[in-house]
């Protein structure tokens, strides 16, 4: 920890973390997209009365996507701070972080198909 910073209280640390989430919401369109999609999925989950284990999987999946997106933002900020100019290594670091988000998003789609697919097919008379 730098000399410029006094050790924050637990409440201050919580507030700082909340500010980080707010920063993502305000500045990152991908993060806003994930929030919107998560809200939609949760509404559909309530409507379809998911089972307890399905809720657990869904919440873990949503959390992993949002957390990966937040880490991606942190990597972008840190890389821009360390290397404001063009540098293939800086680009690679951002690409790898973005790839992590993509992995969680692909898994989220797969989880959605497994959980919602049979129910929606049943509702549409396809099951
Ligand atoms: N300093 C750099 N040097 C070389 N390439 C870079 C650099 N910064 C970014 N890039 C390349 O440009 C891409 C986009 O970077 P940028 O910082 O604009 O993120 P972004 O696409 O705006 O992300 P998001 O939309 O999630 O905010 C990176 O994935 C990387 O390939």
pLDDT at 2 over 70: no
pLDDT at 108 over 90: yes
Domain 10-123 is of which CATH architecture? Orthogonal Bundle (1.10)
**CA-76 nearest atom, ligand 1:** 17
Rounded to the nearest angstrom, the distance between the alpha carbon of 94 and the centre of ligand 1 is 6
Q: What is the mean pLDDT of the chain?
A: 94
76 is in an annotated binding site: yes
Rounded mean pLDDT of 78-84?
Answer: 98
Report the b/e string of 94-126 with b at 16+ CB within 10 A.
eeebeebbeebbeebeebbeebbeebeeeeeee
What residue ranges do the domains of the chain occupy? 10-123
Residue minimizing CA distance to atom 22 of ligand 1: 76
Are 34 and 65 in contact, with CB atoms under 8 Å apart?
A: yes
Q: Which of 12, 51, 54, 69 is catalytic?
A: 69
Q: What was the ipTM of the complex prediction?
A: 0.91
pLDDT at residue 37 in the model: 97
Alpha carbon separation from 27 to 21, 64, 98 (Å, rounded)? 10, 20, 16
95 is in an annotated binding site: yes
The predicted-structure confidence for 39-71, as pLDDT tens digits, reads as follows 999 999 999 999 999 999 999 999 999 999 999
SS3 28: coil
């Amino acid at each position: 920890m730098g000399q410029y910073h006094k050790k924050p209280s637990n409440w201050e640390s919580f507030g700082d973390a909340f500010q980080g989430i707010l920063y993502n919401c305000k500045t990152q369109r991908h993060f806003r997209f994930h929030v919107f999609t998560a809200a939609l999925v949760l509404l559909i989950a309530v409507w379809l009365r998911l089972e307890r284990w399905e809720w657990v999987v869904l919440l873990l999946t949503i959390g992993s996507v949002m957390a990966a997106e937040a880490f991606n933002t942190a990597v972008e900020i840190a890389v821009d701070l360390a290397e404001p100019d063009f540098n293939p290594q800086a680009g690679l670091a951002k690409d790898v972080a973005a790839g992590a988000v993509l992995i969680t998003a692909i898994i989220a789609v797969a989880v959605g198909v497994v959980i919602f697919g049979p129910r929606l097919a049943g509702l549409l008379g396809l099951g």
